Amino acid sequence: MEFEPVIGLEVHAQLRTETKIFCSCSAKFGAAPNSHTCPVCLGMPGVLPVLNRKVVEYALKMSLATNCRINRESSFARKNYFYPDLPKGYQISQYSQPLAEHGWTDIELATGRKKIGITRIHMEEDAGKLMHDEYNPVSLVDLNRTGVPLMEIVSEPDLRSPEEAAAYLKRLHEILVYLEVCDGNMEEGSFRCDANVSLRPVGQAAFGTRAELKNMNSFRNVQRALEYEIKRQGYLLESGGQVVQETRLWDDAQGITISMRGKEDAHDYRYFPDPDLVPLLVGEGWIAEIESDLPELPLEKRERFISAYQLSAYDAGVLTTSRALADYFEETVRLSCQPKPAANWVMGDLLRFLNEDKRDIKDSPVPPTALADMIKLIEAGTISGKMAKEIIAEMYKSGQPPQAIIAAQGLVQITDADMISGLIAEIMAANPDQLAQYRSGKDKLFGFFVGQTMKATQGKANPQIINELLKKMLAP
């Protein structure tokens, strides 16, 4: 029997607000353990939560960017369970009334686009972190992360392959980063994903029994874990067995999933409305304000780049990987009016330099104005493309505009045809043998005369002019 995987993803994205969701502690990553804490996030007796407005704003941005319906009234609930990284003994989350529901986003596949439904988006607080001593029976708790705002994005079970799941994750990641609401750092845990996966016979409408996969900390691992799990479930079903509803952990080292807890061990979280927080009301005005402020999203930007600048899909893809890069490119185009060369210079030399130095485009020593000037100088024939290669390297190194470098190094291209033809005449006179051979049909020697002319001008002559003059003057 042939089986079809059914996959749904739950993404937890840390929102990059300055402060935590229910107190004014810093939400920054990487501080000394327990230094970003206060009585509120430590869950001390008597403290109360107050919702951070910025968190709602960020979650609204994502909700609107994924076409969700915003609930005008939503609420917070308590999810009760005991764990040492959860100081209150409950997590404040949204349960029966999430911030947003019924959204969708398009993903890009080799076969075209596919619409993936988004069930809901809600806000909640993160828990702390346990550190286990390898040599002593001791665990330490760092509560810096406790209360850092999270947004959970739950997809519909619309994904049909690990590749689709990866494409969907990349899409969410890209949007979150574009919106500047999440830094998207998977290693630091600011973008985490759990997956629900089941198999069903092709053609069957009802879903099979699903397993929930956890502990996948990269796009690649999500894909690998799903591939493994689909195989595992496939073998089970084909051999007449049954899939058990359970939570499984991805073991990266072994490349397998391992059962963590079954359905019967599932927690009863005893959700109930948090009496310390009032219903969250989101007015039309606020929604309109955020909507009008939404940036162009990556997929739309790619399409526009392809149609407006005649870029290839690949180039458009590279240039829209970040909003800053796309903005840099567009600014260069605006100033130089030459999309294709701008794309080539940005993607070729500039990105190579930046990548070598692990620098962001925002910190590029070459501003768009300088790059545009350089492109215009090439277009005007003032410098050659070959010279530009050296010039852009120097621009990157020194941060100087191209004009200054050209002036300092005397790099201006020789475009004076009279001067060049004078030199050619001298070269012809000095190399009568080669001239004779060329004229008798040895075309290859054309290159020799180009080289000699370049040498005579120390490489500064415009190669096009050299070509034209040589053709004319060498002709028998």
Partner 1 sequence: MELYELTIHELQALIRAGSTTAADILSSVYRRIDAVESKVHAYITVTRELAEEQAAQADEAIKKGEIKELTGIPIALKDILCTRGIKTTCGSKMLADFVPPYDATVVTRLRQAGAVFTGKTNMDEFAMGSSNETSYFGVTANPWDLTRIPGGSSGGSAAAVAADECLAALGSDTGGSIRQPAALCGVVGMKPTYGRVSRFGLIAFASSLDQIGPFTKDVEDCAIMMSAIAGHDPRESTSAPAETPDYRQFLSRGVEGWTVGIPREYFLAGIDPEVEAAVRKTIAVVEGLGARCIPISLPHTQYCLAVYYIVAPAEASSNLARYDGVKYGFRFRDGRDLLDMYKKTRSAGFGAEVKRRIMLGTYVLSSGYYDAYYKKASQVRQLITRDFEQAFQTCDVILTPTSPTPAFRLGEKTDDPMQMYLSDIFTISANLAGIPGLSVPCGFTTGGLPIGVQFLAGHFGEGKLLQIAAAYEKHANIEKRRPSL
Identity of the residue, 77 or 395, whose beta carbon is nearer to partner 1 in the bound complex = 77
10: enclosing H helix or E strand:
strand 3-14
Three-state DSSP at 412 gives coil
The three state secondary structure string of 234-249 is HHHHHCCCCCCCEEEE
Site string for partner 1, 69-98 (x = CB under 8 A): ---------x-x-x-x--xxxx--------
In the list 45, 283, 285, 410, the residue contacting partner 1 (rule: CB under 8 A) is: 45
Number of residues that bind partner 1 (CB under 8 A): 28
Identity of the residue, 39 or 348, whose beta carbon is nearer to partner 1 in the bound complex = 39
CB atoms within 10 A of CB 440: 9
Map the footprint of partner 1 across residues 336-395, applying CB under 8 A. Answer: none
Dist CA 184 CA 164 (whole Å): 19
Q: Which stretch binds partner 1 (CB under 8 A): 263-271, 294-302, 311-319, 342-350?
A: 263-271
Burial zone of 33 (CB within 10 Å; 0-12 exposed, 13-18 middle, 19+ buried): middle
Tokens 């910025």: give the residue. 54
Dist CA 179 CA 201 (whole Å): 39
In the list 6, 47, 417, 454, the residue contacting partner 1 (rule: CB under 8 A) is: 47
In the list 277, 306, 428, 474, the residue contacting partner 1 (rule: CB under 8 A) is: 277
Identity of the residue, 84 or 262, whose beta carbon is nearer to partner 1 in the bound complex = 84
The Cα diameter of the chain in Å comes to 101
Classify each residue of 389-402 as buried b or exposed e, where b means 16 or more C-beta atoms within 10 Å of its C-beta.
eebbebbbeeebbb
In the list 5, 8, 49, 162, the residue contacting partner 1 (rule: CB under 8 A) is: 49
Tokens representing residue 56 in the block: 């709602």
In the list 42, 260, 287, 474, the residue contacting partner 1 (rule: CB under 8 A) is: 42
Q: Which stretch binds partner 1 (CB under 8 A): 39-47, 111-119, 169-177, 182-190?
A: 39-47
- Which residues have CB under 8 Å from 244's CB, separation 6+? 209, 211, 259, 262, 263
Three-state DSSP at 430 gives helix
Is residue 132 at the binding interface for partner 1, with CB under 8 A as the rule? no
In the list 6, 51, 236, 351, the residue contacting partner 1 (rule: CB under 8 A) is: 51
Which residues here bind partner 1, judged by CB under 8 A? 39, 42-51, 78, 80, 82, 84, 87-90, 141, 268, 270-272, 275-278
